[in-house]
Amino acid sequence: MTASPLRVLVWNENIHETRGDEKALANYPDGIHTAIADGLRRHLGADAEVGTATLQEDEHGLPQNVVDRTDVLLWWGHAGHDLVDDAVVDRVHRAVLEGMGILVLHSGHYSKIFTRLMGTTCALKWRNDGERELVWTVAPRHPIAAGVPHPINIPEQEMYGEFFDIPAPEETVFLSTFEGGEVFRSGLTYTRGNGRVFYFSPGDQEFPVYHHVDVQRVLANGVRWAAPVGERRAFTADYHAPGWHLA
Amino acid sequence: MTASPLRVLVWNENIHETRGDEKALANYPDGIHTAIADGLRRHLGADAEVGTATLQEDEHGLPQNVVDRTDVLLWWGHAGHDLVDDAVVDRVHRAVLEGMGILVLHSGHYSKIFTRLMGTTCALKWRNDGERELVWTVAPRHPIAAGVPHPINIPEQEMYGEFFDIPAPEETVFLSTFEGGEVFRSGLTYTRGNGRVFYFSPGDQEFPVYHHVDVQRVLANGVRWAAPVGERRAFTADYHAPGWHLA
Amino acid sequence: MTASPLRVLVWNENIHETRGDEKALANYPDGIHTAIADGLRRHLGADAEVGTATLQEDEHGLPQNVVDRTDVLLWWGHAGHDLVDDAVVDRVHRAVLEGMGILVLHSGHYSKIFTRLMGTTCALKWRNDGERELVWTVAPRHPIAAGVPHPINIPEQEMYGEFFDIPAPEETVFLSTFEGGEVFRSGLTYTRGNGRVFYFSPGDQEFPVYHHVDVQRVLANGVRWAAPVGERRAFTADYHAPGWHLA
Amino acid sequence: MTASPLRVLVWNENIHETRGDEKALANYPDGIHTAIADGLRRHLGADAEVGTATLQEDEHGLPQNVVDRTDVLLWWGHAGHDLVDDAVVDRVHRAVLEGMGILVLHSGHYSKIFTRLMGTTCALKWRNDGERELVWTVAPRHPIAAGVPHPINIPEQEMYGEFFDIPAPEETVFLSTFEGGEVFRSGLTYTRGNGRVFYFSPGDQEFPVYHHVDVQRVLANGVRWAAPVGERRAFTADYHAPGWHLA
């Protein structure tokens, strides 16, 4: 079974912050990863040990031994998707297929790891005008929606609009609308191999979305939902002799 | 195989019209069923023979021999769901399970036939203030979305909002947003037995939605999509002797 | 949140037993419900309080106050589906839509409650020759499959074969094969309203399947999975004034 | 709309044949691609123009202009997945996302194009002992199952068994059982971007499966199902100014 407490790692490309983008620093003086990690700690308490890692670290802070001991990884990237080393993407991909949970956040829709897990372009429409986003629950029984108001009201946020070029989700938990009239499938689940994937779009470097208590609650719920239920296992194509299963 | 041309039947409870509701008559002087049928004829041409039936007719215009020769049925009801005879609902239900296509429209979400096919309450939020509805395609490859603008712009319409208490759709073709900020899963497909079900929410007695060329196109696409591919067949629970399939 | 421990109720029509069917009594001298309940107690321990109810009791042992305090109901019926009072079915249906979990077992595929939740005939092929059934996991990450061998080997069981006339499952957890070569979707999940539904086919009055440790484990996993996550809530269609959600 | 007739291309790595594997040549003296193409011509007649391409040709017979004019591609590979140039895989991948249909056959489960479209390992269990495979329809309304017996009986075939490490299919059309007792999800559909994907497992170089009339019928049905409904379109992430959709 999963280690207790859950070992959670928040990854951030940390580019807007390190290059000094004013809005990003105003909202996230210690980096987006720190704000997300703090929110998780607040909601998960002793149930989780939450760490962080960034692009600038050795192997982007994701060497094999770190990935090996991560139950759930959160991924935030935007300006530096191309800077992520393919070997690290391979490693994270393999870990997800073997059972590590992953939450892909906002502009992570275009990250190497997400497009590889999806198999599609993951394109979408966008407009960064600070519009009100309403996040509606369309799966009220889903554990990721537990305790969340209907709708979540985010006063200012980047618009993400359909068509979002993803495979049909296994579960659509949230749909978002924006002041401009657009709609977006904003909370989506997938299974890939032995791992669970949750994509959640609210959250941007230019707005303080990760300080929103309900956004934090969704992420905490998502971490619980994506947690592994057993050991990691690799699926391989093997010969099976007649009667192998009848012993 | 399906008869050619397709035999399509538009059913309307025809209550707003026969009791003289002014708005309904202003929009649909010959009844909602006539407007829908005209739209289908325009788009399907020689590919379909389109008839109509109403609640007020004998057996609501749906005696067994009529149901037997219907390939696709469209269902519009609102004020008189309870007036529909259970025997007729049984007959239509059985026909769907055996292969007849059905399109359930707008307030038909609360009809006996739809709630029976779904197994849920089919409840939703609503507000009839004549708001703009935008209908967004989230399955661009789906034949029901063929030739439809993204979004369809309906200037005035009743708001239908989530949570819509339905089973998770097999395919979500359209999502709608409303001026008030609500969202609705507005174009949904299901298979039930050997039959196909398409629910499409745009369309109300108080607004001229069924005269909208894109709404008509969606309905025409839906009729083609829901058309049977073979003979009707009833599924029954039968004993099968060992080796029955190895002859 | 859900009461702790989980309040589980195993319902059995209890007809084969009370009319003295020899095989049923040989396998289940205290009734199928007792065997199922014992298995759940073994696997769930202090996490659950497991009771039983039967057709022969007042209101079939399912008066409103009992249904109200049940978190997860298991349903076993075969020879007496028609004897179940419609008012009780209404009550159970409503409870599921409002959040009670339900596990429908084996021949319960033809029960009033299951066909109402599904909206289809739920027909299937069958042959009661005591064939080996292998239950294969096709969703290894699913919590219902946790700790279960691949395949589960059931030495003697009734064959249930496709086509099983059900809506496309939300999740297919198990597929079964039989010595005669047939296949059956044997472990399936659905959401209906605020409630979760798990159908699991292994289990018959003529074979001691409910004494099989892995079958017991699946049922225990299913109970955990179907447990409510919050208060019961009824979905209704209500007017919502403009701006109701922007307060 | 799609060109009429449909432009279909059958791709084969053509390795077993060109290196002289006796069984492959006995079954497919002109190559597997030729047998598949002949079957499609028989079933589709004037509705399709069917060509072939192989690994050994320039750019594997898949230069840009050929891919551009292909409506539906069939992919057969086994021993040479690694020999397929990544640039060609990129090209085919892009074409699928923009609307080209693709049928991936049997051992193509491990091809670069399929694993890229799926995002998983696509591992499975196998045994090449020439066992009887029964192919059961679990979606009788699906056009790919039209006219197909239930089950299709394939006297000799390689066993493919679960767990098949793929994303949950959008539609499961066929399930196969094997004499050894294994089960396999053998006919599966996906949408990726604007394109449709059908995976169908029956078919192996060591057995004459592609001469089986029902296997041919499934492939022909699959080609019709996967055919594009409109122009190819690339999805990109673009800025959309406020009100862009309200003109």
* Contact call for A191 and C139, based on CB within 8 A: yes
Residue-wise DSSP of B157-210: EEEEESPP--PPPSEEEEEEEETTS-EEEEEEEEEETTEEEEEE---BTTB-GG
Q: What angle do CA A36, A39, A44 make, to 5 degrees?
A: 120
Residues of A in contact with B136 (CB under 8 A): 161-163, 182-183
Q: How far is the alpha carbon of A195 from chain D, nearest alpha carbon, in Å? A: 10
- State which residues of chain C have pLDDT below 50: 1-2
3-state helix, strand, coil in chain C (%, to 5): 35, 30, 35
Q: Which of C134, C147, C170 sits opposite A245 (nearest CB)?
A: C134
Query: What percentage of chain B reaches a pLDDT higher than 70?
Result: 98
Specify the number of domains making up chain C. Answer: 1
Max distance between CA atoms of chain A, in angstroms, equals 66
Pairing of strands A72-76, A6-12: parallel
- Any B CB within 8 A of C165 CB: yes
- Domain-located, residue A21: yes
- Any B CB within 8 A of C162 CB: no
- With tokens 């390795």, the residue in question is D15
Q: Which two tokens stand for residue C38?
A: 């014992």
Q: Which of A98, A141, A173 to mutate to test the interface with C (most CBs of C within 10 A)?
A: A141
* Contact call for A125 and D238, based on CB within 8 A: yes
Quick: pLDDT tens for B146-173. 999 999 999 999 999 999 999 999 999 9
Q: In the B/C pair of chains, how many CB contacts fall below 8 A?
A: 96
Predicted pLDDT of residue D246: 84
| Dist. CA B38–CA B31, nearest whole Å | 11
- Domain-located, residue A231: no
Predicted pLDDT of residue A195: 98
- Any D CB within 8 A of B194 CB: yes
Predicted pLDDT of residue B246: 84
- Domain-located, residue C55: yes
| Residue D154, strand partner residues | D133
Amino acid at A220: A
Comparing alpha-carbon positions, the chain D residue that sits nearest to C133 is D181
Q: How far is the alpha carbon of B129 from chain C, nearest alpha carbon, in Å? A: 9
- Domain-located, residue D173: no
Residues of D in contact with C176 (CB under 8 A): 183
* Contact call for B153 and D245, based on CB within 8 A: yes
* Contact call for D240 and A127, based on CB within 8 A: yes
- Any D CB within 8 A of C176 CB: yes
* Contact call for C125 and B161, based on CB within 8 A: no
- Any D CB within 8 A of A64 CB: no
- Any A CB within 8 A of C97 CB: no
* Contact call for C168 and B181, based on CB within 8 A: no
Is the pLDDT at D1 greater than 70? The verdict is no
What are all long-range contacts of C82-90, with beta carbons under 8 Å and residues at least 24 apart? C83/C13, C83/C55, C84/C13, C84/C55, C84/C60, C84/C111, C84/C112, C84/C113, C85/C59, C85/C60, C86/C112, C88/C59, C88/C60, C88/C62, C89/C113, C89/C116
Residue-wise DSSP of A132-171: EEEEEES-TTSGGGTT--SSEEEEEEEEEESPP--PPPSE
Per residue in D140-177, is it b (16+ CB within 10 Å) or e — as a string?
bbbebbbebebbbebeebbbbbbbbbbbbbbbbbbbbb
User: Which value does ipTM take for this structure?
Assistant: 0.96
Comparing alpha-carbon positions, the chain B residue that sits nearest to A185 is B138
| Dist. CA A5–CA D218, nearest whole Å | 50
- Domain-located, residue B208: yes
* Contact call for D146 and B229, based on CB within 8 A: yes
Q: Which two tokens stand for residue C134?
A: 């292998």
Comparing alpha-carbon positions, the chain C residue that sits nearest to B243 is C180
Using CA atoms of C90, C93, C97, C99 in order, give the dihedral in degrees to the nearest 10.
110
The mean pLDDT of chain D is: 96
* Contact call for A175 and B172, based on CB within 8 A: no
Q: Which of B141, B197, B225, B245 to mutate to test the interface with D (most CBs of D within 10 A)?
A: B141
Q: Which of B148, B162, B173, B189 to mutate to test the interface with A (most CBs of A within 10 A)?
A: B162
Q: What angle do CA C232, C233, C235 make, to 5 degrees?
A: 150
Q: Which two tokens stand for residue A16?
A: 């807007």
Q: Chunk chain A into consecutive blocks of 10 residues (it has 247) and report each block's average pLDDT, rounded to whole numbers.
A: 81 97 97 98 98 98 98 98 98 98 98 98 96 97 97 96 98 97 98 98 96 98 96 93 87
- Any B CB within 8 A of C238 CB: yes
Residues of A in contact with B137 (CB under 8 A): 162-163
Cβ within 8 Å of C, B 113-142: 116-121, 123-127, 129
Q: Which of D119, D127, D163 sits opposite A118 (nearest CB)?
A: D119
Predicted pLDDT of residue C44: 98
- Domain-located, residue A232: no
CA-based torsion, C36, C40, C42, C46: positive or negative: negative
The CATH number assigned to the domain holding C84 equals 3.40.50.880
* Contact call for B162 and A175, based on CB within 8 A: yes
Burial of residue C53 (number of CB atoms within 10 Å: 0-12, 13-18, 19+)? buried
Quick: pLDDT tens for B170-202. 999 999 999 999 999 999 999 999 999 999 999
pTM score, two decimals?
0.97
* Contact call for D194 and B141, based on CB within 8 A: yes
What is the residue range of D29's domain?
A: 6-118+187-226
C121: three-class secondary structure by DSSP: coil
D145: confidence class by pLDDT, cuts 50, 70, 90: very high
Q: Which two tokens stand for residue C139?
A: 């969703």
Quick: pLDDT tens for B62-86. 999 999 999 999 999 999 999 999 9
Predicted pLDDT of residue B3: 52
Residue B234: name the closest of B195, B197, B196 by CA: B195
| Dist. CA C36–CA D236, nearest whole Å | 54
* Contact call for C242 and B127, based on CB within 8 A: yes
Amino acid at C22: E
Q: How far is the alpha carbon of A35 from chain D, nearest alpha carbon, in Å? A: 27
CB B202 within 8 A of CB B157: yes
List all residues 6 or more positions away from D13 whose beta carbon is below 8 Å from its beta carbon: D54, D55, D76, D77, D78, D79, D80, D81, D83, D84
Per residue in A155-193, is it b (16+ CB within 10 Å) or e — as a string?
eebbbbbbbbbbbbbbbbbbbbbbbbbbbbbbbbbbbbb
* Contact call for C121 and B180, based on CB within 8 A: no
* Contact call for C236 and B129, based on CB within 8 A: no
Contacting subunits of B (3+ beta carbon pairs below 8 A): A, C, D
Is the pLDDT at D2 greater than 90? The verdict is no
- Domain-located, residue C243: no
Q: In the A/C pair of chains, how many CB contacts fall below 8 A?
A: 40
* Contact call for D99 and B141, based on CB within 8 A: yes
* Contact call for D127 and A236, based on CB within 8 A: no
Q: Which of A164, A175, A178 to mutate to test the interface with B (most CBs of B within 10 A)?
A: A175
* Contact call for B194 and D151, based on CB within 8 A: no
Predicted pLDDT of residue A190: 98
Quick: pLDDT tens for D79-137. 999 999 999 999 999 999 999 999 999 999 999 999 999 999 999 999 999 999 999 99
* Contact call for A165 and D235, based on CB within 8 A: yes
| Dist. CA A68–CA A59, nearest whole Å | 14
* Contact call for D168 and C136, based on CB within 8 A: no
Burial of residue A3 (number of CB atoms within 10 Å: 0-12, 13-18, 19+)? exposed
Q: Which two tokens stand for residue A156?
A: 């200012």
Q: Which of C120, C190, C242 sits opposite B193 (nearest CB)?
A: C120
- Any A CB within 8 A of B232 CB: no
Is the pLDDT at D156 greater than 70? The verdict is yes
| Residue A125, strand partner residues | A161, D238
Predicted pLDDT of residue A3: 52
Predicted pLDDT of residue B137: 98
CA-based torsion, C107, C111, C113, C117: positive or negative: positive
Predicted pLDDT of residue C1: 39
Q: Which of D132, D138, D183 sits opposite C136 (nearest CB)?
A: D183
* Contact call for B245 and D134, based on CB within 8 A: yes
- Domain-located, residue D125: no
Quick: pLDDT tens for D20-37. 999 999 999 999 999 999
- Any D CB within 8 A of A168 CB: yes
Comparing alpha-carbon positions, the chain C residue that sits nearest to A144 is C229
- Any D CB within 8 A of A239 CB: yes
Predicted pLDDT of residue D4: 85
